[in-house]
Amino acid sequence: MIVIKTARELNCMREACRISANALKLAGTAVEPGVSTLEIDTLIHKYFEKVGAKASFLGYGGFPKSSCISVNNVVIHGIPSEKCVLKEGDIVSIDVGAFVEGYHGDNAYTFPCGQISKEAQQLLDATRESLYEGIKAAQAGSRVGDIGHAVQSYVEARSYSVVRDFVGHGVGAKLHEEPSVPNFGTPGRGVRLLPGMTLAIEPMINIGTHKVRVLDDEWTTVTQDGSLSAHFEHTIVVTPDGPKILTIADDEVRL
- Segment holding 173, helix H or strand E: none
For the residues 56-83, what does the mean pLDDT come to?
Answer: 98
**Each residue of 89-118: pLDDT tens digit?**
999 999 999 999 999 999 999 999 999 999
Report the C-alpha gap between 96 and 89 in whole angstroms.
22
How many other β-carbons are positioned within 10 Å of the β-carbon of residue 133? 18
Instruction: Judge contact between 209 and 224, C-beta under 8 A.
Output: yes
Specify the CATH number of the domain 7-245. Answer: 3.90.230.10
β partners of residue 96: 67, 107
Residues 190 and 144 sit within 8 Å (Cβ to Cβ):
yes
**How would you list the strands of the sheet with 229-231, edge to edge?**
161-162, 204-206, 229-231
User: If you ran DSSP here, which 8-state letter would residue 195 be given?
Assistant: T
What mean pLDDT is predicted for residues 62-88? Answer: 98
Contact assessment for residue 173 and residue 129, using Cβ atoms and an 8 Å cutoff: no
The answer to whether residues 177 and 235 touch, using CB atoms and an 8 Å cutoff, is no
DSSP state of 143: B
Domain ranges of the chain: 7-245
- What 3-state class would DSSP assign to 119? helix
Angle between helices 7-29 and 37-51 (to 10 degrees): 140
* pLDDT for the residue 64: 98
- What was the pLDDT predicted at 29? 98
pLDDT, position 69:
99
pTM reported for the whole predicted model: 0.98
> What's the one-letter identity of residue 20?
S
Taking residues 26-50, report their average pLDDT.
Answer: 98
Spatial separation of the C-alpha atoms in residues 67 and 24, rounded to whole Å: 9
**Over pLDDT 70: what percentage of the chain?**
100
Express as a percent the part of the chain with pLDDT over 90.
99
Q: What whole-number distance in Å separates Cα of residue 69 and Cα of residue 34? A: 15
Distance of CA 75 to the CA centre of its chain: 11
* Predicted confidence (pLDDT) per residue in 143-193, tens digit: 999 999 999 999 999 999 999 999 999 999 999 999 999 999 999 999 999
